[in-house]
Amino acid sequence: MGIARFDSRGGNRFGDVDRLLDGAKNFEAVAVMKKILYAFAVLACLWIAGLMRFNALVNRKPVSESLQTEAIIALTGGTERLSAAVNLLKQGKAQKLLISGVDRKVDWMNLAQTVDELPPELIDRITLGHVACNTTENALESRDWMTRNGFKSLRLVTASYHMPRSYAEFKNVMPEMVILPHPVFPQTFTYSSWCCWWKWRGSTALIVSEYTKYLFVSLRHLLGWGNTVFNPAEVCRK
């Protein structure tokens, strides 16, 4: 059995040592917690700064419509996108138009009802892409279509809040292509300026959601993750 030693005052020397050790451990725990909180604070500041930068990208205007490209590619998700893409084709800004992400049940009759005055002569210059189900597949489907047609430049049409992520996906699979962003601002997306966008809860939630997706896409591209081979037989069925 161990023998406890007591000082002249009857105190337990080992008890004092234990208290000192416990205090040191608590101090170390507090120091570690402070470091963790500091790291979270830094990450939060970086996240907010990135969100402000992303918001500036969302607010960008379309590249001058006077510039021509060989192709126009519109991503489904709103009639404004389709109308803008068809109008660009009407103006002779490109040779052909691909509408990527079209539901398999949608045909030319349905499409004609969503845009104003679709001239019959334009039908042969428009391709409906029925195999893409997300933005990554939009980019892969578009790359294959561009390759088949021998095109080297395109104008990308999608919603403003969707453009940063779409552009990143397209540039990842088509780094050699010239891609001109052409964002459209949907009526359902309330957006004023960089200093007031958070006033609208729905738009704020949409921007934050897209920003988070944009971060994951950027990280995936940086790490080289993701499939860059498009197999239409394996896409989802809509």
Question: What is the pLDDT, as a whole number, of residue 1?
Answer: 46
Residues 77-122 pLDDT 10s: 888 898 899 999 999 999 999 999 998 888 777 776 777 677 778 8
CATH class for domain 71-234? alpha beta
Q: Please report, for the chain, the start and end positions of each structural domain, with discontinuous segments joined by +.
A: 71-234
* Mean pLDDT of each 10-residue bin along the chain, 238 residues long: 48 56 66 81 87 78 83 91 91 94 82 72 89 94 96 95 94 95 80 59 81 92 72 49
What was the pLDDT predicted at 105? Answer: 83
3-state SS, one letter per residue, for the chain: CCCCCECCCCCEHHHHHHHHHHHHHHHHHHHHHHHHHHHHHHHHHHHHHHHHHHHHHHCCCCCCCCCCCCEEEEECCCHHHHHHHHHHHHCCCCCEEEEECCCCCCCHHHHHCCCCCCCHHHHHHEEEECCCCCHHHHHHHHHHHHHHHCCCEEEEEEEHHHHHHHHHHHHHHCCCCEEEEEEECCCCCCCCCCCCHHHCHHHHHHHHHHHHHHHHHHHHHHHCCCCCCCCHHHCCCC
Whole-number pLDDT of residue 199: 66
Q: What is the per-residue pLDDT for 4?
A: 47
Q: What is the pLDDT of residue 92?
A: 92
